[in-house]
Amino acid sequence: MAVALGIIGLGIMGERLLRAALNHDQAVIRPVAVWDPAPGAAEKLAAIAPTLPLLPSAAAVIAACDALYVASPPSSHLEYAGAAFAAGKSAFLEKPLAADLAAARAFVAAHAGQRAAVNFPMASSPAVAQLSAWRQDLGAPAALSIAVRFGRWPRGWQQGAASWLAKRAEGGFTREVLSHFLFLTRRQLGPLTLLERDATFPPGDGSETAIRARLLAGGVPVEITGDVGRITEDEANEWRLTCANGSVRLRNWSIAEKLGPDGFQPSPDALPNEKMRPMVLQGQLDKVAALTLGGAQNLATLREALEVQEVVEAILGA
């Protein structure tokens, strides 16, 4: 049975997953409806998928689907996911779970048994799978460093969502980007315990311009740095793990590298993120279908997403 996918929010992430679903095996999962109240949403959808309906409400999309993808701003995630659960549907949420941490905690406690997952794509990343394979021969982990850097925030391709991504209340690179690397750290090393943090904000209600943090992940020390405006490129990031018998890193989202005599060398099948992303989203969609039908999958759980959000908000001083 093909899983019918409904999408709320046709911004950057909604469009990406929609395009991936249109290119997916329609016998596994197929998009059936979209809702987005933004002006121009109908024209945008018509240009992407002329036969796919833009329904008049979120409730109409929920009624039409088996699995709901929630790609709206964070303040609305829990409302739509809760409505999907009440209708007997599965829910696949963008992170963070909510703009309010207390509400996220209550929601996770109340919906622990639901068919739910959060879109941390590293759960389906071939580069992460390569890191895990390499780690088998590297011995015990000793230290981890994470660096996320941006020429500007929001990034160039995110400017259409700057009304909330650039604001302290819901946006910022710690929530949007660092959270992915914290999820990866939690999966690779174990529970996260924040030891020390600092965040710099501009005057007014703008999002952070720099962060620094120290934490433990399963007992392994982790150093985190992040900043805006100190590099010329749009973005650069690195997740570097040092083990007893060597080091590996994930660079710029999708390049798995292992330290050798001549420095870090990429995996032979490494791809830049723009080429790997569609592959990763296909993997995520396979798992959304499995989630909906009660099958095995390893998508990020609500509990994992909450643990990441708690660390993120603590780093920001919220």
pLDDT at 129: 98
What pLDDT does residue 309 have? Answer: 98
Token couple for 170:
């819901």
Is residue 52 within 8 A of residue 45, CB to CB? The reply is yes
pLDDT, one tens digit for every residue, the chain (318 residues): 899 999 999 999 999 999 999 999 999 999 999 999 999 999 999 999 999 999 999 999 999 999 999 999 999 999 999 999 999 999 999 999 999 999 999 999 999 899 999 999 999 999 999 999 999 999 999 999 999 999 999 998 999 889 989 999 999 999 999 999 999 999 999 999 999 999 999 999 999 999 999 999 999 999 999 999 999 999 999 999 999 999 999 999 999 999 999 999 999 999 999 999 999 999 999 999 999 999 999 999 999 999 999 999 999 997
pLDDT for 160 equals 86
pLDDT at 1: 81
Q: Which helix (H) or strand (E) holds 30?
A: strand 29-35
d(CA 192, CA 218): 7
207-238: b or e for each residue (b if 16 or more CB lie within 10 Å)? bbbbbebebbbeebebebebbbeeeeeebebb
Number of H helices, E strands in the chain: 11, 13
CB-CB contact of 122 with 305 (8 Å): no
Q: What's the pLDDT score for residue 161? A: 85
Q: What is the reported pTM?
A: 0.96
Pairing of strands 90-93, 116-118: parallel
* CA end-to-end distance (rounded Å), the chain: 44
Residue closest to 122 by CA, chosen among 72, 70, 177, 68: 177
Peptide bond into 31 cis (omega under 30): no
Residue in the block written with tokens 């709206």: 72
DSSP 218-264: TTEEEEEEEEESSSSSSEEEEEEEEETTEEEEEETTTEEEEEETTEE
Domains of the chain, earliest start first: 3-118 (3.40.50.720), 123-271+307-316 (3.30.360.10)
The pair of three-digit structure tokens given for residue 149, joined into one six-digit string: 């850097």
Backbone angles phi, psi at 39, to 5 degrees: -60, 135
